[in-house]
Amino acid sequence: MWSSRYSDWEDTFRINTTAHYFLAVALFPLLAAAADMTLPDGRKGRDEGRGVMLVTSSCASLHNCTNVDLTSYATSKAGTDHLVRLLASKFQRC
């Protein structure tokens, strides 16, 4: 853990957490439009699962791995897990 450089930590968060946030923000208008779209049978797109963003994380966010140094990786994935919960809560009705 002590051998990690600041730039390694920052790069890991930028790729594993921050990128998901900005992607969600950029795609939100399209996701909302797809969910609100009226389908030919009169149902909304959300009824068919449209307007969904799928984010892949890792089980590393749930485990305390002590045999290898996954501190920044596991922490960034835990941040991603929480980010997804926050985004889902904030935008579930949009």
- pLDDT value of position 61: 85
* pLDDT tens, residue by residue, 22-47: 999 999 999 999 999 999 999 999 99
Tell me the per-residue pLDDT of 60-84, one tens digit each, with 9 for 90 and over: 888 776 656 788 888 999 999 999 9
Type of residue at 25: V
Band (90; pLDDT cuts 50, 70, 90): confident
Please state the pTM of the whole predicted model.
Answer: 0.79
pLDDT at 6 over 90: no
Give the CA-trace dihedral at 83, 89, 92, 94, to 10 degrees. Answer: -90
